[in-house]
Amino acid sequence: MQRDPRYDILFEPVRIGPVTAKNRFFQVPHCNGMGHAMPEAHAAMRAAKAEGGWAVVSTEECEIHPSGDISPYVEARLWDDQDIPALALMCEQVHAHGALAAIELTHNGPTSSNLYSREVAIAPSHQPLKYGYPQHARAMTLRDIRDYRRWHRDAALRAKRAGFDIVYIYAAHDLSLAMHFLQQRRNQRTDEYGGSLENRVRMLRELISDTKEAVGDKCAVAVRFATEEFLGVDGVRESEAREIVHLLADLPDLWDVNIAAWHMDSQTSRFAGEGYQEPFTGWVKSITRKPVVGVGRFTSPDTMVGQIRRGVLDFIGAARPSIRCTQNPTMGEEWRKGWHPERIAPSKSSKRVLVVGAGPAGLEAARALGQRGYEVHLAEASRELGGRVNFEARLPGLAQWARVRDWRVTQLQKMANVAIYRENDIGAADVLEFGAERVVLATGCHWRRDGYGRSNGGAIPGFDGARVFTPDDLMRGRIPDGPVLLFDDDAFYIGSVMAEVLRAAGREVIYVTPDDVVASWTTYTQEYRHVQKRLRSLGMQIVTGHNILAVDSEGAQLACVYSGRECHITCAAIVAITARLPNDSLQTALEALSADWQTAGIEAVTPVGDCHAPGLIVHAVYAGHRYARELDEPVEGEVCFRRRASRPPMT
């Protein structure tokens, strides 16, 4: 396929110190859960990115010493020479596809846990550990500082031996000593490493110089730096960040710039648009002559070209957009299951496959089966393909989720071996009459209306009345009269989004959850603080730590989950967000007719996605893809993936 010349600039090579990147696509460091524990899987995942065309492929943060252990989280590790082979494996596989390999060295200081190493944590000044562990980090002596510089230099030399082309000094996200020395709230020293900005920058300057001296002949030296923490004088702010970049301007070979903390840097499409970091990082290139990489949830090549031509960035950086777990179900399965993001084994038979339901699971199953070469028939009850994605993508902030649907529909429309039947609400008799050898049921799920969920093992009295609504009702335009008590026993995104829907419709909302906080699971998606801020800005009453005992004609009777103390809240309606049930009536009907399958030519009926076990969209996509991958493939044992047998031998 010929490339549009407007985008040629994205594929120009760029020099970074002693090495050259083949284009401007730069996978910045990001966590993945594999790290030192699963080196083969980690190497294969990074290799897939290199094969896909990324010019630079980076590790996650890499611990350089046991006193910076961040267990239970699994990252890369270069404590000593024993850790070299695992990372050398990654370099070898990344280099095989013509990409540069980068490593982000770090010591997490007071953001360490040391649960595994049991070492005492260190910090610029005495302070408690950041993430709630009931311990403190001790203030570093000058000898500790010399040791830290030595650990970092030794790790850089090991990285060079492993084969890395770019070595990072990490000063971002409030997660590294290099940044902690910059922060006045963490650095209260009165010696040459504290006080004035020039003194606080001293550690970062020394680390850059040490690293360049150690490995700069063969490796580029990069600095990952957060230009804004949004904490005012307590954090690194733009005015100080500008001074820091001026002080160090051309010392590193590359600047990788972002914002802090992590929840600000890794914002989802619900809370930030594409290129949202430009106002905070776009000035860096005006100060340094060295190349600059930045991030901002880039997805449009026009946005990328615009930032390069306007002198904002030299490289298009990406972490989450380079992963796309929902769009790419092969992420993390490259080694352990042998899945490739673009290649898939051809069909092993001429079996016809009927897929019932065109939600995320059905669309992905049909797409991957079609790619394999099977004759696929996709039946959807409605006119619009997409299932739950259609409804959720219309909710506040979730429009980008439609990409899950749109890409798959586009691919299916290119496949002559896939037939799509819209507005076909087929039943068990229709399935038997169709007579496909394999039947895939992807009929989705629905929200429960009875109150059963994590906090209630049975129906809540009064939930069987007409005053109780579910997210399904709201997503179909049935908005209750207010005031509305929203009962969230789900703890993820849907409760807060439904609250936004109700407030946009002018309803008073009382948000009740048995949990200690609203949307607690969004901690794992970096949305937690944004959700709290959004809900409070909408002016709703939030009641945490309370369960619903019963619903009556005037409202709901609540009880504190700790004290049992009861209270009554007056409301006109309840929105119950508790649990979901599979839409399994077709499966039940087909199982009742299983004696007729052989006559109809049906070999197997398999539920996938939400009609099998309700989950997230990512789970549905994975389930559909897995079915397509495994059809007609041999089954080997109970464990369907490879596990690491032993550490690679030292070389």
Q: Which residues are catalytic?
A: 31, 170, 173, 265
Both tokens assigned to 494: 């849907």
Q: What are phi and psi of 162, to 5 degrees?
A: -70, -20
* Full DSSP string of 281-345: HTTGGGT-SS-EEE-S----HHHHHHHHHTTS-SEEEESGGGT-TTT-TTTT-TTTT---SS--P
SS3 199: helix
From 545, 540, 541, 489, select the one nearest 519 (Cα to Cα).
Answer: 489
Instruction: Tell me the sheet residues that pair with 112.
Output: none
SS3 204: helix
Report the 10 Å Cβ neighbour count for 185: 15
Three-state SS string over 127-186 comes to EECCCCCCCEEEECCHHHHHHHHHHHHHHHHHHHHHCCCEEEEEECCCCCHHHHCCCCCC
From 207, 211, 244, 158, select the one nearest 18 (Cα to Cα).
Answer: 211
151-183 in b/e burial notation, b at 16+ Cβ within 10 A? Answer: bbbbbbebbbbbbbbbbbbbbbbbbbbbbbbbb
Whole-angstrom Cα distance, residue 139 to residue 137? 7
CA-to-CA separations, 462 to 30, 449, 465, 481, in angstroms, rounded: 48, 10, 6, 18
Strand 76-77, strand 25-27: pairing: unpaired
From 15, 1, 2, 6, select the one nearest 56 (Cα to Cα).
Answer: 15
Query: Using an 8 Å Cβ cutoff, are 328 and 368 in contact?
Result: no
Whole-angstrom Cα distance, residue 418 to residue 387? 18
Quick one: residue 156, left, alpha or beta (phi over 0 = left, psi -120 to 50 = alpha)? alpha
Q: What are phi and psi of 19, to 5 degrees?
A: -125, 165
From 149, 148, 127, select the one nearest 136 (Cα to Cα).
Answer: 127
* Full DSSP string of 444-457: -EEE-SS--SSS-S
* Residues in the chain, overall count: 651
In single-letter form, the type of residue at position 466 comes to A
From 358, 360, 363, select the one nearest 379 (Cα to Cα).
Answer: 358
Query: Using an 8 Å Cβ cutoff, are 248 and 201 in contact?
Result: yes
In single-letter form, the type of residue at position 637 comes to G
Whole-angstrom Cα distance, residue 285 to residue 281? 9
SS3 498: helix
Query: Using an 8 Å Cβ cutoff, are 382 and 423 in contact?
Result: yes
Both tokens assigned to 593: 């007719």
